[in-house]
A = this chain, B = another copy of it.
Amino acid sequence: MYGITPANGIEKAYDLDAVAIVPTKRGRDIKDVDLSWKIDALTLDFPLIAAPMDSIMSPATVIEMGRLGGLGVLNLEGLWTRYVDPAKHFEKLATITDEIDAVKLMQKLYAAPIKAELIDQRLAEIHDAGVPFAAALSPKTVREFAPHVEKSGADFLVITGTSVSAQYVSETQDALDMKELIHSLDVPVIVGGSVDYYTALNLMRAGAVGILVGFGGGARQATRDVLGIEVPMASAISGAAEARSDYLDESGGRYVAVIADGGITGSGDIAKALACGADAAMVGVPLARASQAPGKGYHWGREAWHPTLVRGLRQQVTTCASLEEILLGPSVVADGSMNLVGALRRTLASTGYTTIKSFQKAKLILV
């Protein structure tokens, strides 16, 4: 009587909170756990990438992220590349508690043009620190500014649209052919966001060294409310992991990293994302709680300052610890917001795994 049924091919998709890991193997010593992972030529100590959001990533925090063993990504369309001295604007924003006032100020601040020389300057500052790093552009600006990333020595260019970009950009006269673009660049590209097996496979075939699964975490609720679009992450990650495996065969050995980008609220979600098949997780809100976070108690993505269709919320967060404590501990809270790396190490040990690659086959259940 009704068209909407699983019987008619309308699949049920699951978010990370609908799955859980079950330990079914013998436990391993936590000291035997090795969380290192490889993306393209780079090996990193642990599988966490900081999201390219102004509220968490400044040149200084990108450097700190790299120094601690992770990967930071600078948003090249943020305040750091629009203003010589963005600090005062962050300061001002943090004093505004009314959300509509904040939106209006953000819309104004982000209307300033991106300056190529500031891109160069910010990336040089990071590069000088000698840590791995990445820089992010949207499809709209990538042709114009990618050359600056190429020459900066960045390890990766991250191409990610607004929260709901599909896998290719729009098909108007200035349409972007992702495959052509990636092959024309001298810097390895991480691109997103995939939503299932097919979109992931297409992005892999375009030549990316890593693909983002999902549309980022900052705007999930708003994306659902405003656009009706939703990507349940457990399903999307597992679909991408299947695509990775098939593409490995198809390409004769190219392994493309699958990076969960959305719905990661704490260490439990990171573990689940990896158990669903991700190689790494892109993290936002947990890092916004760092004492060094530029957002100073607020967290927002580019959806929060869209000039005509705001579809992400500026989120208030509690500053609780240093970036190092949030990533590496020790933790004095039991909610998954601190010692993200230590918690992941503990999950692997407890469930009987010593590497991420083996942990990607951990037993999952629906809860």
Contacts and interface: CB of A to CB of B under 8 A. Distances in A.
Interface of A: 1-6, 10-15, 19-32, 99-100, 103-104, 107, 161, 164-172, 175, 195-199, 219, 222, 224-232, 234-236, 238-239, 241-242, 266-272, 275-277, 303-304, 307-313, 329-336, 339, 342-343, 346-347, 349-352, 364-367
B277 A1 contact: no
A111 to B, nearest CB: 13
A2 B197 contact: yes
B309 A13 contact: no
B3 A238 contact: yes
B24 A309 contact: no
A213 B366 CA distance: 19
A166 B10 contact: no
A172 B32 contact: yes
B164 A100 contact: no
Nearest to A352: B166
15 contacts: A3-B242, A3-B277, A11-B365, A21-B230, A23-B195, A26-B166, A26-B169, A26-B171, A103-B332, A107-B332, A222-B334, A226-B268, A228-B272, A229-B350, A308-B339
Given A22-B230, A222-B336, A225-B268, 8 more contacts: A5-B12, A20-B230, A23-B195, A26-B167, A229-B271, A232-B367, A309-B329, A311-B343
B22 A166 contact: no
B347 A228 contact: yes
Nearest to A307: B330
Nearest to A340: B226
A197 B24 CA distance: 10
Given A27-B168, A224-B268, A308-B330, A4 B364 contact: yes
B29 A170 contact: yes
Given A230-B21, A308-B330, A330-B308, A367 B4 contact: no
A14 B4 CA distance: 7
Contacts of A332: 100, 103-104, 107, 310
Contact of A228 (B21, B26, B197, B226): B21
Q: Which of A161, A229, A241, A351 has the most CB of B within 10 A?
A: A229
Nearest to A174: B29
Given A3-B239, A238-B2, A313-B334, A29 B225 contact: no
A30 B307 CA distance: 14
Nearest to A227: B347
